[in-house]
Amino acid sequence: MLVKSPHAAFARLFDEIGSVDQVGIEERVAKYTTRSIKKVSKLWGLKKAVSMVDLTTLEGKDTPGKVASLCQKALHPHDDPAVPQVAAVCVYPSMVRHARRALGGDSAVRIASVATAFPSGQAPLKTRLAEVKSAVADGADEIDMVINRGAFLAGEFAEVQDEICAVLAACGDAALKVILEVSELETFDNIRAASFIAMEVIREGDFIKTSTGKTSLNATLGNNQVMLEAIRDFYLDTGIAIGMKPAGGIRTAKQALQFLIAVKETLGDAWLTNERYRFGASALLNDLVRQIEKEKTGAYQAPYYFSEAAESY
């Protein structure tokens, strides 16, 4: 019996895309937390971050009412009209039609849905594709899929890509975000490898995304940086601009600004738009709005003056 070694497959891939200098990445991202962003630039960054939020609720206890209230919050994050709408709401497929009803047909706030047996992805391909099609039919503008981590770690890259392609076909016009689930990939090298495997098959305007938010380790400046550099290298090679979405664990405005600094200093201003960069988050929006209010009034704000995170609807 032929036993295929994943090592050979990974070795071939790294010959092609290069590996990651882990210490270098960690030192690089440590610098991002030392940047002093004040006054006008801070306010700009906070508003930009609001416009990039994928306001998310992914819980077993989600109800149509909770999703409707989330959608209202997405449309009007704050009573100050200077605060922009968020980029999208992110819900389970069964909630897409409720979100569509709440947002209306021509809303600028898009609907993203986590299809493909989120978060594990452990369902037959047929089932996962059916889920994608149903979400798109219900009105989803964007699909967040998880990759087959088992196949990836076994070195079966073609299988991973074939599945992404199948989901892509099921998406139609909907944008695709490919969740690598970095906490299960274990090393920065693997994150870079998975990023390239996904980017080679998705379209311009599609995204790669760090994580589901359902495991212990979520988006960090480190894994964000690895993926941003993969996007940069891929763009320089092919001219195809892929978007990026860190998700999970970004709760404070301060963190969001640090992620934006990483984007600006790695990919440049062209990626500082919600067409190419998103935050998958639920609690973050409250803190962003709270800090915007602090910048406006000069007074530190109590969190209870802002509507609670999605969890507590």
Partner 1 sequence: MTRLPITKTPKVYVGGAFIRSESSRVFPLKDAAGNFFANIPQCTRKDLRNAVEAAAKAGPGWAKRSAYNRGQIIYRLGEMLEARAGEMAEAIMLGGASKAAAAREVAAASDRLIHYAGWTDKFEQVLGSVNPVASAHFNFTVTEPMGVVGVIAPEEAPLLALISLVAPVITGGNTVAALASTSQPYPAILLGEMLATSDLPGGVVNLLTGFHKELIPTFATHTHLRALTGVANAEERKTLKLGATESVKRTHLLKAEDKIDWFADSAQSVYEIRQALEFKTTWHPVGA
What does the radius of gyration of the chain's CA atoms come to, in whole angstroms?
19
Task: Decide whether 104 or 303 has the Cβ nearer to partner 1.
Answer: 303
Q: Which of residues 236-265 bind partner 1 (CB under 8 A)?
A: none
SS3 letters for 170-212?
HHCCCEEEEECCHHHCCCHHHHHHHHHHHHCCCCCCCEEECCC
Task: Out of 300, 309, 310, 311, name the contact with partner 1 by CB under 8 A.
Answer: 300
By CB under 8 A, tell whether 39 contacts partner 1.
Answer: no
Task: Decide whether 134 or 301 has the Cβ nearer to partner 1.
Answer: 301
| Residue 144 annotated as catalytic | yes
Choices 20-28, 79-87, 154-162, 293-301 (CB under 8 A): range interacting with partner 1? 293-301
By CB under 8 A, tell whether 38 contacts partner 1.
Answer: no
CA-closest candidate to residue 104, choices 62, 68, 65, 142: 68
Task: Out of 169, 303, 308, 311, name the contact with partner 1 by CB under 8 A.
Answer: 303
Q: 163-188: b or e for each residue (b if 16 or more CB lie within 10 Å)?
A: bbebbbebbeebbbbbbbbbbbbeeb
Task: Decide whether 23 or 302 has the Cβ nearer to partner 1.
Answer: 302
Task: Out of 108, 305, 308, 311, name the contact with partner 1 by CB under 8 A.
Answer: 305
Contact 292, 306 (CB under 8 A): no
Q: Which amino acid is at 274?
A: N
Q: Which amino acid is at 202?
A: I
Task: Decide whether 42 or 192 has the Cβ nearer to partner 1.
Answer: 42
| Residue 61 annotated as catalytic | no
Choices 60-68, 102-110, 257-265, 292-300 (CB under 8 A): range interacting with partner 1? 292-300
Choices 98-106, 136-144, 266-274, 296-304 (CB under 8 A): range interacting with partner 1? 296-304
Task: Out of 134, 215, 273, 301, name the contact with partner 1 by CB under 8 A.
Answer: 301
**88: β partners:** 54, 110
Output the smallest distance, CB 305 to partner 1, in A: 7
Choices 64-72, 101-109, 197-205, 301-309 (CB under 8 A): range interacting with partner 1? 301-309
Q: Which of 48, 133, 177, 245 is catalytic?
A: 245
By CB under 8 A, tell whether 44 contacts partner 1.
Answer: no
| Residue 209 annotated as catalytic | yes
Task: Decide whether 83 or 185 has the Cβ nearer to partner 1.
Answer: 83
Output the smallest distance, CB 308 to partner 1, in A: 14
Active centre residues (catalytic)? 144, 209, 245
Contact residues for partner 1, defined by CB under 8 A: 297-303, 305
